[in-house]
Each structure stands twice: as structure tokens, then as C-alpha cells.
Structure 1
Amino acid sequence: MSNSTRALLLRMAPSIYGPTVLFTLGQSALMPLIPVIAVEMGANIGLSGVIASALVVGQLAGNLPAGWVVSRAGERIAMLIATGVAALGALGIALAPNPGALGLAVFVVGFAAATFGLARHSFMTTRVPVAFRARALSLIGGSHRLGRFAGPFLAAGILAITGAPAAPVWAFVACLVLTAALVLFAPDPERVLPVQRPAEEPEPRTAGIRAAVRHSRAPLVRVGGAAAVLSGLRTTKDVLLPLWGVSIGMDAAGIALVVGIAGTVDFALFYTSGQVMDRFGRLWAALPATIGMAVAFLALAFTHDLPGAATWLVVCAVVIGIGNGLSSGIVLTLGADLAPPGDPASFLAAWRTLVDFGGATAPLAVSAIATVSLPLAAASVGVLAVLGAAGFARWVPRYIPRARPRG
């Protein structure tokens, strides 16, 4: 990485990473309380899980339109559009009269988040040199983790003051306003940072998402399938841990605190992931992450009826946080590694759609299983994590040479 590019990245860091921190902070203050709000509206445990899962369903549905918006409007405009749509979704959550309307509003927030995330991913893929790619993208992952770390604590504080589970909605709206202001008035990174051209002859430019899928079908399906499992573990964690807390009798503030503790551990490890990936290879971050989460979910399945169930929840949440922290930026990095230089946005739209499909379907399946048995749902997630680890071990070294240690 050249000194000039490094200096520009450092100088533009607030513009690059600040919007992600703010957007995720507000979202993470709100989302752990969605199951609680749904239960207060009369939803059962299973339905409240489905409503919370509407966030990742919205992200899945929004990825392909996001690719179109980012390609034509540019990153900055796309992020402003996403922020406005997310604000409408937040207002819908605040005013929802029933669980159905609540689920729709959560879906809208997820739809907007897809455009926000794709805009930043495409920008980093085209403007960060490969030698620094994992660390730069792990900082994007770290920006998400900072928001997820601080968001639940923000929610816990608001709840302690107001006692109203819906109060964090307004914290999300305030964060969206600040996000829009930063995107509008801070220097535009797209105009400052140069596009990185590969040393070798670039691949032919593909024409849209279908062509991108045809061109890179095998790595997209195989490596993307393992990444989709990891995405499913992450979104399932966000649904299962609050449901587990509700099931063992914890109050809303306690649940937010547990999620916040796990986020603290998660956040502490985010840059370590990028260093490991750039120095030793992508696999050295992917495997420990998925194996660690597999162990935690399988252990959690046996603790529901123990006298110290709340303590076991904290312990397993911390282990899950360690695994998630070690995987910071891995999905973004693998997608950037596989994206054709000529047209990364189209490939990344397909990549994120596949990954978010895993993120959307896994918690829905877990919520369905939870209506029968919550411990069985946790055990199922543990088995899924084992399958994800096997997929990374098989396909990452084959399709991404950077996955092998540099000798």
C-alpha cells in the first residue's frame, strides 16, 4: 500500500467509517428490543423471533435494488437514500399498532441497510489495495461492532430512564439524522481516494448481475455458501440470545446488557481479524470463528433449565462474541477478493444477496424450531456452524490464493 493512499485513508477515516458507526449504533440500540416489543403486542416467542428476523429478510430483498442504486447514483447519494428510508422504517416501528405492522417496519429498516452496506463495500473494494484490504475491511466490520457494542448499552440506559421498550426507536432516528449530516457535509471519499487498478490486465467488464454470476458461479456458490452460513450464525445470534433471555425470565434491561457484554468482546477483536487475514491468510480467521461459535451454541443448548441459566447465557454469549470478533470483515474481504476488477458492484450485489440469504433463512428456521424447543434451536445452530467451518476449509484455499500463508 502506498504511503499516499495510506495517508488519504487515515485522513478520510471519519468520512469512511463514521456513517457506518452511527447507522449501526442506532440500529443496535433498537433491534435487541424488537422481540420484547413484539411480545408486549401479544406475539408469542416464535412470532417475535420471526418479526426480529424481518431485518435480515429486508436486507436480502434490498441487495439487488441496492446494486442498481449504487451503480447509478454513486455511494454518497445511495447512502442518503438509505438513511431516509431507514428513518421511515423507524417511525413505522414507533407507531406500529400490531405485530404485523411492526414486522413490516423492521423489514423496511433492513431494506435500507442493504443499500447502505453495499455502497460502503463497493467503495472499499475499488479503492483499497489488496495488501491492506483485510485490515481496511476489518475496520468496516469494527465500525459495525462499535455500534453493536455501544448500542445495547445506549438502549439499557434509555430503558432505565424511561422504562419504555419503544424508547430506543428515537435514539435510532437521532443517529440517522447525524448519519445524513455527516454524509452531506463531510468530504466525499469518492472524490478524494483514487480507484485501485490491478497490476495485471483487468478482467472484462461484465454487464450486470446475471453476467457477474455466470462469470464467477463456482466460487460464488461455494465460498459464498460458507459465508452465508457464517452470516446465518451472526443473525441467529442476534435473535436467539434475546429470545433465550426472555425464555429464562430476564427483563429487557438485562437482555440488552448481555448482548452488550458479548458486543464488547466482539469489538475488542475486530482489528486482530484483519491483521491475521493479511498476514497469514483468510482461512486463519474463518475457521476459528465458526468453530468457536459452534462450541458455544452446542453448549448453550444444554443450559436452559439449569439453576444458573442466566450465567450460562452470559458465558456462551461471550464465546460467541469471541468467534464473531475473529471473523470481523471476513465476509466483506472474501467478497472483495472474488469480485472481478472490471465490475465489482454487480458481483458484490450477488455475493451479498447469497450471504444475506443465509442470514435471513437461518433465524427464520431457528424461530420455527424455537416454537417446539429453544434448546433444540440452539443445537441446530451449533450443527450449522460445524458445516460452515467445513465449507471454509474446503473452498477458501482453492479459490482465494491469499487464503494461504505468505511464504
Structure 2
Amino acid sequence: MSPVVRGLTMLYLTTILLGFAHGMLPPIIPVLEDTFGVSGGMAAQVVTAFTMGRLIGQPLGGTLIDKFGTRPAVLGGPVVIGISVSVGIVTQWFWPLLVGLFIAGAADSMWMLGREVAGVDLVKPNQRGRLMSGFMGFHGVGMGLGAWLGGTVGEEMGIRAVFAIYTGIAAFVFLVSVLIPSAERPPAAPEAAAPTGGSRLERLRNLYLQIDPRLRTTYLVLVFATASMMLYRMAYQAILPLRMDEIGLDPSDIGTLFLVVSFGSLVMIVPAGFVVDKIGRKWATVPSTAIPGIAFLLIPFTGDFGPLIAIAVLMGFANGLSLGSVATSTYDVAPDAVRARLQAARRTVAEVGAITGPLLGGFLAVQFGAGIAFFVYAPVLLIAGALLMFVARETLVKRPATAAA
């Protein structure tokens, strides 16, 4: 087996495994209420803690990877994740669980960025869409399968068993990651690198100025689109279980619904990669934000399991189209010398959406009911779709069929 094939196989395997592990958490949110004696809105903050950790981990991971390569993130991430989530096995209080998941989120974001850059180094630029589609698709499939198991295990055996499984998976991912070949690229020339002095805001501005002036607005739109996507994904994970609990569905039903969404992502892995690499990035990014916006408008009107299954199919299709399309567009825009930091900057700003989703959604769910949160978030997604369609540039460079006369 060639180093490229072996590396991609290990990267995809670890992606689906950690996706599976994280996917076990959302369905047990109602169980956390009973275990720790907290409200539903507070229980949903396990998702907030994890995403706040990701917010911290992004800039750290970007700097680490641009300076030292992918190996420290790919190997160190699973170790920290495993140690952090093991808190859930033993703690009798809710706050240590939140701390553990915060640390796990930071490690997970560094690992995901390292995995991504390692994969980009292994493939050609015209294969990036399929690479990223595979990463996001397998992660989604893993989360769906994990949601199904998490809901069942949490209901039958309690949350301790769920966190024990999560810890074991993280340990196995570390062992598998040792087999991933090092994909570090040579250090960039000094003149190509972004300045590192000055305040944090100044460093961020310097990073932004490395982008081709014609593509800077596109980068900003991609940041906003990522924030909207993170908002809907985290809100869907954290608030949908509360909505389903309101209409009398149990954790196993919640797990089934997430499984349907993940199945849609699985079906779309190959088509989404083809669309992104062959037709155009915007053909994937626009519907992947507009369709969830429409779905969020429909969720408050559902009162039983059947309509939610139909919406889950729609969400699965949209989620499949979103598989790595924005990340691929960002790699098109970002110069190689600062690619990890620009990706990390995009995701750091975008994590505002991931944090806002469950945090504001939990408040709205407690005060007005879970359905209201979906009404509030829908316009954000629709605006992102409009900006991607009418403001952002198409970043796929197609080779002309014939030379100009």
C-alpha cells in the first residue's frame, strides 16, 4: 500500500471514529437532566462547552500546524480528547463534565485541522473537493451511527457507559494515527509568511492581506457562511432533542433521526465531491445554507415523528452538499504559506455561530419553547445562501477546453 493510500485510509478511519464518539453526546442530553438534576437548557450546554473549546483550539492549531506540521495535532489531539472525556465516567457534578468537554473541544479542533492539512498535502488541488467531501461525509456518518448507539446506550446503561466508549475510541484513534505518514511541507520563504508582530488584531489583519485582493470579500462571505453552518449544525444537535422531548419522543427516536441525516450525508459523499470539483463550489455552498434555512422554518410546525423524518432527509441532502465545500473554497483562496492560519481564523470567527446555536437556543427553549429557536435561526441561513450566490466569487478554476484564438 502506497503512503498516499495508507495515509488517506487512516485519515478517513480516524475521522469516522471520532465522529462516532462525538455523535453519542446529543441524544443523551435528556438523560443528563436526570443524572445531574439540571434543566434541559443547562444540559444542552455540553454542546456549548465543546464548541467553546473548539473556539480556543482553532488559532492554536493553525499556528502549531503552520510552524511544525501536522504530526503534533494528529497524534496529540486524540490523547487529550480521551483524557478529557473520561471525566464523564466518574464525575458526580455537572461542571467538571463541562470543563472536560471544553478541553476535548480544543483538542478536537486542532486534530481536525491537522487531519485536513495532512490530507490536502496528499492530493492534487483538483481533488480537494472530493477529499473534503470524504472527510465531512465520514464524520457525519460517524456522528449518525454514534447518535443511534448513544441514545440506546444512554437510555439502557446510563451516561457513564457512553463516556467510557468515547474514551476507548479516542485511545484507539491515537494508535491508528501513528500509521499516518508525515505530510509536513517545507517551511515557507520568509517573504511569503504573514508578519507575526503587533497585536492579535494586527496579526489577523496581516493574515487577511495575504489573500489576493480580488478574493478578500469572498473570504469574508465564506467566514459568515461557515458561522451560519456551524450555528445550524450545533443548534440541530442541541435543540432538536429538546423539541422532540417536548412532543413526547424518547432518546432512541432522537438517535434514529440523527442517523437519517447522516445517511443522507453518506449518500452525498461522492456526488458532493463531484459537484465541488467538476461543476463549481457555489453549486454546493448555496443550497447547503438555503435548504437548512427552509427546514428550520418547518420544524416548529411538526408535532410527531413522521414529518421530522422528512425534514431529516432534507437536512441530510443539504448537509451532504456542504461536505467540505466551504473549506475547499477557502483553500482555493488562501496562500499556501498561511493556509492553516487562515482556515483557523475563518473557523474561529465561525465558532461564534457554533456557540450561539446551543447557548441562545437553550435560552429560547426554556423561555418560549424549542420551536422558537428554529424560527430565529432560519433567516441567518437564508442570508448566508444569498451572499454566497450573489457576492462571493466562484473559486473553482476550470481548465479551458481550447486555447483562445
Which residue does 1:265 correspond to in 2?
A: 264
SS at 2:130's partner residue?
A: helix
Cα distance, 1:159 vs structure 2: 4.3
Cα distance, 1:406 vs structure 2: 7.4
Which residue does 2:46 correspond to in 1?
A: 51
Kept in 2, the 8 Å contact 1:67–1:115? The answer is: yes
Partners of 2:191 and 2:363 lie apart in 1 by 44
Which residue does 2:37 correspond to in 1?
A: 42
* Within-5 A mapping of 1:325-364: 325-364=320-359
Cα distance, 1:262 vs structure 2: 1.9
* Within-5 A mapping of 1:167-206: 167-184=161-178, 186-190=179-183, 204-206=192-194
Partners of 1:251 and 1:114 lie apart in 2 by 31
> What one-letter code is carried by the residue in structure 2 that aligns with 1:178?
F
Amino-acid identity (%) = 23
RMSD of Structure 2 on Structure 1 (CA): 2.7
Partners of 2:87 and 2:325 lie apart in 1 by 33
Kept in 1, the 8 Å contact 2:66–2:338? The answer is: no
SS at 2:112's partner residue?
A: helix
Aligned residue among 384, 390, 396 for 2:386: 390
Partners of 1:158 and 1:46 lie apart in 2 by 22
**Which digits, 9 at most, give the CA deviation of each residue in 1:36-73, with x for residues without a partner?**
31453122122222332221111112111112332344
Partners of 1:96 and 1:335 lie apart in 2 by 40
Which residue does 2:396 correspond to in 1?
A: 402
- Is 1:315–2:310 an aligned residue pair? yes
* Within-5 A mapping of 1:130-279: 130-159=125-154, 162-184=156-178, 186-190=179-183, 204-208=192-196, 210=204, 211-216=206-211, 218-279=217-278
What number of residue pairs does the alignment pair up? 388
Partners of 1:268 and 1:7 lie apart in 2 by 27
Query: Residues 248, 202 of structure 1: CA spacing in aligned structure 2 closer, same or farther, 3 A cutoff?
Result: farther
* Within-5 A mapping of 1:84-163: 84-159=79-154, 162-163=156-157
Partners of 2:48 and 2:382 lie apart in 1 by 22
SS at 2:192's partner residue?
A: coil
> What one-letter code is carried by the residue in structure 2 that aligns with 1:395?
V
Kept in 1, the 8 Å contact 2:281–2:395? The answer is: no
Consecutive aligned runs of 4 or more in structure 1 exceeding 6 Å deviation: 403-407
Kept in 2, the 8 Å contact 1:265–1:322? The answer is: yes
Query: Residues 85, 254 of structure 1: CA spacing in aligned structure 2 closer, same or farther, 3 A cutoff?
Result: same
Kept in 1, the 8 Å contact 2:137–2:266? The answer is: yes
Kept in 2, the 8 Å contact 1:59–1:113? The answer is: yes
> What one-letter code is carried by the residue in structure 2 that aligns with 1:32?
P
Partners of 1:101 and 1:40 lie apart in 2 by 14
For normalisation by structure 1, the TM-score amounts to 0.87
Cα distance, 1:7 vs structure 2: 7.0
SS at 2:245's partner residue?
A: helix
SS at 2:92's partner residue?
A: coil
Kept in 2, the 8 Å contact 1:291–1:389? The answer is: yes
Kept in 2, the 8 Å contact 1:140–1:329? The answer is: yes
Cα distance, 1:140 vs structure 2: 1.0
More divergent stretch after superposition (328-337 vs 124-133): 124-133
Gapped regions of structure 1 (runs ≥ 5): 1-5
Kept in 2, the 8 Å contact 1:145–1:270? The answer is: no
Which residue does 2:23 correspond to in 1?
A: 28
- Is 1:61–2:49 an aligned residue pair? no
Query: Residues 156, 362 of structure 1: CA spacing in aligned structure 2 closer, same or farther, 3 A cutoff?
Result: closer
**Which digits, 9 at most, give the CA deviation of each residue in 1:17-50, with x for residues without a partner?**
2221222111212343245314531221222223
Cα distance, 1:181 vs structure 2: 0.5
Cα distance, 1:102 vs structure 2: 2.3
SS at 1:190's partner residue?
A: coil
Query: Residues 12, 121 of structure 1: CA spacing in aligned structure 2 closer, same or farther, 3 A cutoff?
Result: closer
Partners of 1:121 and 1:347 lie apart in 2 by 13
Cα distance, 1:278 vs structure 2: 0.9
More divergent stretch after superposition (127-136 vs 204-213): 204-213
Partners of 1:124 and 1:287 lie apart in 2 by 25
More divergent stretch after superposition (210-219 vs 92-101): 210-219
> What one-letter code is carried by the residue in structure 2 that aligns with 1:181?
L
Kept in 2, the 8 Å contact 1:271–1:328? The answer is: no
Partners of 1:20 and 1:37 lie apart in 2 by 26
